[in-house]
Structure 1
Amino acid sequence: MSVGRSAATPFWLAGPGALVFLGLIVLPLVLTVILSFHAYDHTTGIKNEFTLAHYAAVFSDDYYLGIFWRTLRLAALTTLICAVIGAPEAYILSRMRDPWRSVFLLVIIGPLLVSVVVRAFGWSMLLGSTGLVNQSLQGLGFESVRLLYTETAIVIALVHVMLPFMVIPVWTALQKLDPMVEAAAWSLGASHFTALRRVVLPQVSLGMLSGSLIVFGLSASAFAIPGLLGGRRLKMAATLVYDEYMHELNWPLGATIAIIVLAANLVIMLAYNRVIETRARKTLG
């Protein structure tokens, strides 16, 4: 009897977490998929009929395809900029000593303590036609530029919000790297750049992978920043889903768009994960 109880212990321990996962993630996704196949009529609402018309309408309409392309493109650009900025920041952070390390770490994660909506409003004030950026340009003798309600404004705000999610995983990976390995490369004649490229970068590639996946997924599903800094005309996937649910009341179409975006994100992230892990195994092997 004791053997049976010990063998079943892992299942009892994992049971509550599995139930929460099924109830909060799997079940809503299944219901959303089912909803996406329901017919919809603007006069009577959701019908108890199943159809593929919503998927056909989305994939055949350049309006929706353009929003999907903008969403993935801006998410990829945000991820690239976060990687270019975040990896050096994490390297500098790993080489710091207390108390400067704690101060620098607080500066990095500090924005996470402020609501995304508040940060988006802050950027709207900075990038507006009468904001600090345009006032500075006019003070230097340049003409004011239109930044608010553009893709540039969305990317700037997304980078500000997502940068900590890139820095922390890379910094964690660097903590596992012995500094003497890099010093050994220098002693063997390698330059600082070569040591970073051939020794440090392969070791932190999995940390950059984790950060990239987090940043890309969060950027592609962002709602507050595109809604406040992109305006009504410059839509992304999350704002489009919101409009279909709350304004048009076409819940099946909104569910269809949400499922398509989720599937696209999963395919891209899994493919990226496979490519990076394969390269990391070849480099470290």
Structure 2
Amino acid sequence: MPSPSAARARRMPWLLSAPALAVFVSLLLTPLVLTGVLSLYAFDGQRGILDTYTLANYIEVFTDTYYLEIFVRTAGMAAVVTLLCVIIGVPETLILSRMRGRWRGIFLLIILAPLLISVVVRTLGWSILLGTNGLVNQIMMFLGITDEPVRMMFTLTGVIVALVHVMVPFMVLSVWATIQKLDPQVEQAGLSLGAPPRTTFFRVILPQLLPGILSGSIIVFALTASAFATPALIGGRRLKVAATAAYDEFLSTLNWPLGATIALVLLVANIIVIVGCNRWVERRFRSVFEG
């Protein structure tokens, strides 16, 4: 028979995690379960939500080309934003790590500045910049890049530009947490042994940065795929993504079951893409660097 102290030691982790578990169940798991139940209800345009269960909402989402196009657009937008954040954020973090203390703090504050501004205010600022008579078009015409204003508002390009602006800090923070654990002498050892800077970066530095890049990519992809304010304000009513489509079903057509279905499909697709890409990239880099 186990002693009271041993039994108490086994219960201690559960007791310590109980508050966090209660918050998780009440604020996250329970709403998800209720949303899943709501997505199974039938809906009639005249009578509203019916007290019958059906899979018609899921069949409609997976068979209607309108919704398939929305999810393909959402996935493509999230993938492009994630790739651009990696291209911009990783070199930016490497440069930041090599700065002196004073300048490093200043530039880190500049990089994180988008996170300190309300998403609505930030998006409205981008709508002014990307407008037909906005600063971006004026600069391009002044430099001779284009002869007439380029339409960027209510386009996917404008949405991607605005999302990259706010998602880059998440990538920088993720890579920054990883780069703080690196030993600078490892890079110097590679250079001293005759390896060129390019080889040193891809064979020494990049494998150590990979966990930060992967975690940053997961954060950026998930936040971009579920973004609402920026696609709604920059993309407008016609450029639908999954979040804006769910919003319209809830508040415009009042088809709550279909809106719940879109939200759940987006959540599951997000999880599948993130987990799948994470495992594929890990295996890919492991085979490259070990081989």
TM range (shorter): over 0.9
- Structure 1 residues 4-59: Cα deviation after superposition (integer angstroms, max 9, x where no partner): 32321111111111011011111111111111110011111111100111111111
Distance 1:191 1:175 in 2: 23
Q: Is the 8 A contact 1:205 1:276 kept in 2?
A: no
Q: Is the 8 A contact 1:39 1:49 kept in 2?
A: yes
The residue number in structure 2 matching 1:193 is 198
Q: Is the 8 A contact 1:75 1:220 kept in 2?
A: yes
- Structure 1 residues 149-192: Cα deviation after superposition (integer angstroms, max 9, x where no partner): 10110000000010011011111111111111111111111111
Distance 2:232 2:126 in 1: 13
Match of 1:57 among 40, 57, 60: 60
Q: 1:138 to 1:276 in 2, by over 3 A?
A: closer
The residue number in structure 2 matching 1:250 is 255
Percent identity at matched positions? 55
Q: Is the 8 A contact 1:40 1:250 kept in 2?
A: yes
- Structure 1 residues 89-130: Cα deviation after superposition (integer angstroms, max 9, x where no partner): 111111122111111111111110001111100000000011
> Which SS does the other structure have where 2:67 is aligned?
helix
The residue number in structure 2 matching 1:23 is 26
The residue number in structure 2 matching 1:171 is 176
Distance 1:251 1:100 in 2: 51
Q: Report how far residue 281 of structure 1 moved.
A: 4.4
Matched, 1:152 2:152: no
Match of 2:49 among 39, 46, 49: 46
Map of 1:185-224 to 2, 5 A cutoff?
Answer: 185-224=190-229
The residue number in structure 2 matching 1:136 is 139
> Which SS does the other structure have where 2:182 is aligned?
coil
- Structure 1 residues 66-95: Cα deviation after superposition (integer angstroms, max 9, x where no partner): 010000000000000000000001111111
Number of residue pairs matched by the alignment: 285
The residue number in structure 1 matching 2:87 is 84
Q: Is the 8 A contact 1:202 1:284 kept in 2?
A: no
Distance 1:192 1:183 in 2: 10
Distance 2:186 2:143 in 1: 48
- Structure 1 residues 180-216: Cα deviation after superposition (integer angstroms, max 9, x where no partner): 1111111111111111111000011011000000000
State the TM-score, normalized to the length of structure 2: 0.95
Q: Which amino acid aligns with 2:222?
A: G
Distance 1:6 1:280 in 2: 41
Could you list the structure 1 runs, at least 4 aligned residues long, displaced by more than 4 angstroms after superposition: none
The residue number in structure 1 matching 2:11 is 8
Distance 1:204 1:276 in 2: 13
Distance 1:92 1:16 in 2: 41
CA-atom RMSD, angstroms?
1.3
> Which SS does the other structure have where 1:189 is aligned?
coil
> Which SS does the other structure have where 1:22 is aligned?
helix
Q: Is the 8 A contact 1:120 1:157 kept in 2?
A: yes
Q: Report how far residue 284 of structure 1 moved.
A: 6.3
Q: Report how far residue 232 of structure 1 moved.
A: 0.6
Q: More deviation in 210-219 or 35-44?
A: 35-44
Distance 1:108 1:39 in 2: 47
Distance 1:50 1:257 in 2: 17
Distance 1:4 1:260 in 2: 43
State the TM-score, normalized to the length of structure 1: 0.97
Match of 1:114 among 93, 114, 117: 117
The residue number in structure 1 matching 2:231 is 226
Distance 2:203 2:8 in 1: 51
Q: More deviation in 236-245 or 3-12?
A: 3-12
> Which SS does the other structure have where 2:101 is aligned?
coil
Q: 1:83 to 1:251 in 2, by over 3 A?
A: same
For structure 1, which runs of at least 5 residues remain unmatched after alignment? Answer: none
> Which SS does the other structure have where 1:99 is aligned?
helix
The residue number in structure 1 matching 2:282 is 277
